Structure formats: structure tokens, C-alpha cells
Amino acid sequence: MRFAWLIPGALGIAVLSCGRTCVAAPAAPGSTISSFADYTAHLDSLREVILLCRNDAAQCQSSKVGADQRIEPEGFTAKYGWLRDAIDRSKDKALKDRDAILDSALTRVGVEESEAHQNADAAGFDNARRVANDILATPEFQRVQGPSWWEQKELAFWRWADRLFGDVSDAAGRNPWLRPVILWGMLVLAIAGLFVWARRAFQRQRFVVRVEGQGTSMIASGSSPDWTALAQQYSAEENWREAVHCLYWASIVMLEGRGIWRRGVARTPREYLLLLRSGSAQQTALRQLTSLFERVWYGKHPIGKGDYNSALALFDALRSA
């Protein structure tokens, strides 16, 4: 035959182009329902069947191919009639194109596996896309709004800051001397800010100590004025801040006169509270008066006649306790 050399190649092309839906001449047994994992595992076993057949003609048994498979839930059918036919034909060791037939079968199994993975990936993507669409169709995703005016301004600010620092970084890259200048400048600013904060804190503390020391020394010296009379005088002048201040020290002098604490010892307003019996009427009234005094004297809060009347009521409560 003039074209006998074309037969092996033609057989190989026919095997490759047939696809998994081809039906071979022998009738295939009934299909079995398998999972995708079972299908890929079966393809691996078919490679072993083909290799055994190639090495030993006695191993060429089409029954080892197994039944056709219906792959669920992917929904396609894998038919192996073509492989059974190839195995049966390869039983003849003298067959001239035996190796070509088995090589084509191995290639066909590889193509089957590649197509299976492609179809599975496509099915998985379609399923994921469907799930995502279902989620995006829920009501909470239908009320999405754009950024607010404030968020837009905030974003614009950070973009401006990014451009600014980017320009500074580029400038520092072009001018090496600029980098240490920026670094030392930021360090000096930080130290200056810390110094200003510490100075103000010390001034505030000195003011508190001076006021408390003055009041304590006036009490300890025995020459303190009549704080109650001073409070009345300041209230008549509507100097409510000084009036509350005097009522507080009048309360301290009054409790000291009762021997509740020792005279001549400098204490803070909170330390006086600790010297009273916990939960007593005296401690409760003095705590409220102390809070009012600290708020208007140290905190510089605005004060009116109502605050003075509250302080006077607390002083009367301490006097009657």
C-alpha cells in the first residue's frame, strides 16, 4: 500500500479529535455517577492501564478501563469506548502501529484531564459569580452612597499632604544638605513645644502652691481674718470667686478649731478630705465644697451667685454637722 505509512498518524488524529463524547464501536457498559475527584483519579489509573498494556500485551484487557462515567455536579459524561477499542487492538504484539495507538491513547487521557479541569474552573467561576451577584442584590448593598462632603475634604487634605511631603523628599534627594536641616528643624520645634508646655505647667503649679501656702500660713499664724465676714464682704461686692474661696477656708478653720486635724501643717484640699471619717456627713459636705472651690479657684470657671449660695449652704451644713 502506497499510503500505509499514513495510517498511524491518521489514527492518532482521529483519537485526539474525537473528544469525550465520542462513542466507540463496542457498546459501552452502563455509565456510573462519579464525582470530579473520582473522575480525575480514574484518569490516572487509565494511564497505568495503557502503560502496562504497552509493556506487556498480556496486560491489554479492556475490562480494566471500567464503565463510562457521569460526572456530577459538573454535568458531563466521560466515555471510554475509544480506549477499550485501543486496548483490544493492542493485544496483538505484531500490530505495526501498536505503539502509535497507545501513545495516542496516553495523549488523549492527558487532553481529557486538561479539559476536565478547565470545565471545572469555569463552572466554579460561574458559581462564584452567581453567589456574588446574589449578595450584591441584597438590600444593604442597594443603599451605598458616595463619600460625604467632609470625607471628600479630608481625602483632598491627605492628598495635598502626600504631594507636599513627596516634593520635600524629592528636594532632599536633589539637595543632600536639606535633609539634616529638616531633621534638626523638626527636633528644635519638638523641644520648644516641650519647653513651653513644661513652663506653663510649672507656672500653674507655683500658682496653686502659692495660694494654698498663703491660706495655710494665715490659718496657722493665728492672725487669720474672719473668713466668713470676708465672704460676706466679697458677696456684697459680687466678687463670687473670692467669696467662695473665703467660705472654703472658713470651713477649714472651723473644722480645725474642733480638733479634727492638727494645726500648722500644710495640706492640699484633697488631703483634708482624707482626715475625715469616710462616708460621714462632714466628709460628704466638705467634698462637695472642695469640688466647687477647685472648679472656680483653680479651674477659672465662670461663677455666679448660685455657686456662692451653694457654697454657703455647704458651709452651714458643715457648721451644723
**Same domain as 247, residue 160:** no
CA pair distance 103, 59, nearest whole angstrom: 16
Same domain, yes or no, for 31 and 127? yes
Residues 252, 284: one domain? yes
CA 194 – CA 149 distance, rounded (Å): 36
Question: β-strand 69-71 against 76-78: which pairing, if any?
Answer: antiparallel
Query: 153 and 124 in one domain?
Result: no
Contact 91, 110 (CB under 8 A): no
Same-domain status, 165 and 86: no
Q: What is the pLDDT of residue 36?
A: 79
Residues 304 and 242 grouped into a single domain: yes
Q: Which amino acid is at 145?
A: Q
Count of structural domains, the chain: 3
Alpha carbon 276 to chain centroid, angstroms:
50
Asked whether residue 220 is domain-assigned, the answer is no
Mean pLDDT of all residues in the chain? Answer: 77
Residue whose cell numbers read 451605598: 144
Q: Give residues with Cβ within 8 angstroms of 231, minimum separation 6.
A: 243, 244, 246, 247, 250, 312
Phi, psi (deg, nearest 5) at residue 145 = -120, 160
CB atoms within 10 A of CB 237: 10
Confirm whether 132 is domain-assigned.
yes
N-terminal to C-terminal alpha carbon distance within the chain: 133
Give the single-character DSSP code of 145: -
Does some domain include residue 78? yes
Q: Which of 96, 111, 136 is the last residue of a domain?
A: 136
Contact yes or no for 303/261 (Cβ under 8 A): no
* Model pLDDT, residue 34: 85
Which residue intervals of 222-280 are DSSP H helices?
227-236, 240-257, 269-274
Q: Does 287 lie in the same domain as 189?
A: no
- Domain check: are 9 and 81 in the same one? yes
22 and 66 inside one domain: yes
Residue 217 lies in a domain: no
Q: Which of 10-19, 59-68, 79-88 has the lowest mean pLDDT?
A: 10-19
Answering whether pTM is above 0.75, one says no
Q: Is there a contact between 57 and 93 (Cβ–Cβ < 8 Å)? A: yes
Q: What is the pLDDT of residues 212-241, one digit of tens each?
A: 445 444 444 443 458 888 999 999 999 999
Is residue 117 one of the residues assigned to a domain? yes
| Same domain, residue pair 272 and 313 | yes
76 DSSP β-pair partners: 71
Mean pLDDT of 177-193: 83
Instruction: Give the 3-state secondary structure of residue 149.
Output: helix
What is the amino acid identity at position 297?
Answer: W
Q: Is residue 208 part of a domain?
A: no
Same domain, 175 and 264: no
Is residue 276 predicted with pLDDT exceeding 50? yes
Distances (CA, A) of 206 to 201, 209, 214, 273, 287: 9, 5, 12, 22, 24
Same domain, 103 and 186: no
- Of residues 24 and 104, more confidently modeled: 104
* Owning domain of residue 56: 4-136
- Cα dihedral sign, 92-98-101-105: positive
The answer, yes or no, to whether residue 14 has pLDDT greater than 60, is no
Note whether 15 and 105 are within 8 A (CB).
Answer: yes
CA distances from 96 to 5, 7, 11, 68, 100 (A): 10, 10, 12, 29, 9
- Would residue 64 count as lying in a domain? yes
Residue 143 in domain: no
